Every structure is written in structure tokens, then in C-alpha cells.
Amino acid sequence: MSYQDLFDELRALQKLKNNWYSVAGIVKGVKEAAVRTAHPARRLRDASEASGYSPNTLNRMIVVRDFFDAVKDLLPELSGIDPNFLPFTTLEVVKRLHQVDPEQGIQMLLEVVAGRMTIRKLREKYEFTVADKTDVASAHQIARFEVKDFEAAALTALQASASKLFEEPFDLSQKPLRFPPISVVGYRSRTNSFTPVLGFDFFLTRIPDQSVNLDRLLQRVLSYSGFFTRYWVIFASNVGEQRIRDFCMIMRELNRLSVGVATLPWGDERTRLSDGAEDLEILLNPMGDPAPDWRQMFAAVQDFRSSMNRPRS
């Protein structure tokens, strides 16, 4: 089946009120086929336009569909159930609960299927379960799950908002760099340059006292932003509006004109948003070159760090 056929199916599904599961199945096929092409992000944007859902929402739907498919054959109560008619955002919370406490997750899934569980009650159950996991191992496990979810959502949001972030087409790479150790870098498209022009730092924290992590973020930005034409900090919205605005003010005061700041809806805000409203919100647009400007030194620093890791002769 061609891409055009798949996109036509997505357009046809827009006429149905309950369609998330079917949409997720088609888009998953589009993404799997697009992996073998040079422009997977473009195919996702095409699927977004055809389906009426944002790229973020489409990726979330695929993850929830995969979760539902993994458990449905184990639960006789799900036999004959059309998941299109189960609320997608509710099932997403069920999935997160299942990651923290599989037994509770299955129990709540059955409550949702039976129509006995609202999303508000489910969120309360999830938050209580997370708070109840006080042992260190569980806390680390929960944090890893959320960080992984946030990084995946942030990457998708970058692809969807690319034209807002840089004036030229760029390709993203998650391949870890020895230096600098940041989330994602971007290279100019259709060039042979191995020097990234964009740096992205994703920031999510779950601990009540965020001052330590915010200090580390500030240190990273001040240390690394000079190596990139544009350096973007992507905050989870639940970090707090005032904290994020204070960070923007610090960037202005320090004359870091190449640094941009955006937020991605997260936590309760992410659940409340309607489909298609999940793009990055730009709070601070870069206005100039990095200062200090270390872009010409990037390759030299990379070579130096590589030489430090070679065995001594």
C-alpha cells in the first residue's frame, strides 16, 4: 500500500468521532516504512495533516496502542472490545500506572472498560500510587519512565516545530556526543558538515526542590551554548511558569542572544489539552550570535577529548 493510500485512509477516519486506535495503526505503518527513507519526519508531518492530529498526539497514540495490544490477549474481559471507543487520554494514564504498578494498571484498565473510572479519579489513583512508591529503586524506575516519555515527546515536538527553531532545514541526531553531553544536536540539511549548528537541552525534573537541577542546567547552557549557532532549552511545562520565566530573564541579563527557550505541555496540562494543541510554546527567541562564540573551536575540542581517551603509548 502506498503512502497516498495510507493518507487517504487517515482522511477518511477524520469523519469518525472515535478513531484513535485505527489512526495509530495506520501511522505506525507509515513510520515503519519511513524509517527506510531519507525524510521520516516529513512522513509524520504528512500523516499529521491527513489525520488532523498533531505529531505528538500520533506518537502517543502509537505507544498506547502498543500497550493495549500487549495486554488484550491476556484479559478475557477485553474480548470484543473496540478500543476506538475507549478514551485515549484515559488509557494513556492507565499505561503510565501499569509502568509503575502492573497489577494496579490492569485493574484500572478493566475499570475503564467497564465504564466505572473517570480520568480525574484515575489521575488521582496514579498520583497516589507514585507517591506510595517510596523505596529508592521504585523512585528511580518511575523517573526513568517519565524522562524517557518526555524525551520522546520533545523530539517529536522539535520535528513538528522545526521552522520555528531555525531559519534553515536541519536534521536531528540523538547519537551521543563525547562533547557536549546534551540531549540532541541538529545539522544543516543537505550538507556534508559534521559540525552541529543546533543544540537542544531537554529539562524535566520530578523532585520538589528543583534548585540543584536548575543550577546544573544553567551551568550546561553557559558552558555549551557558545559552540552552537542556536541553543534551545526545552522545559516540561510542569517545571513551573515562574521558574521558566526567571530562566529567560537570566539569559537576557547575561546577553546570551543565541539561546532560545520553549515549553512542552506536560503532566496534567498535557492530559487536558485538546488534540493538535501540543506544539512547543516559544518563550524566548534567539536574537543573535553566541557570546562567547566558540563555534570554530568545536572540532578542536572534539579532537582533544578523543585524544584524552586514547591509551597512552
173 or 296, greater pLDDT: 296
Q: How confident is the model at residue 271 (pLDDT cuts 50, 70, 90)?
A: low
Least confident range from 94-98, 229-233, 253-257: namely 94-98
Contacts of 263 (CB under 8 A, 6+ apart): 234, 235, 236, 237, 239, 244, 280, 281, 283
Domain ranges of the chain: 3-143, 163-309
| Strongest mean pLDDT among 12-26, 41-55, 112-126, 154-168 | 12-26
Q: In the chain, where does DSSP find H-type helix? A: 3-13, 20-34, 40-51, 55-72, 88-100, 102-113, 119-132, 136-160, 162-165, 211-224, 241-253, 268-272, 298-309
Beta strands 281-284 and 198-203, pairing class: unpaired
Integer Cα distance of 174 and 99 in angstroms: 24
Check residue 139 and give its pLDDT: 59
From the CB of residue 229, how many other CB atoms can be counted at a distance below 10 Å?
Answer: 21
Lowest mean pLDDT among 87-91, 187-191, 246-250, 282-286: 187-191
With 70 as the cut, is the pLDDT of residue 210 above it?
A: no
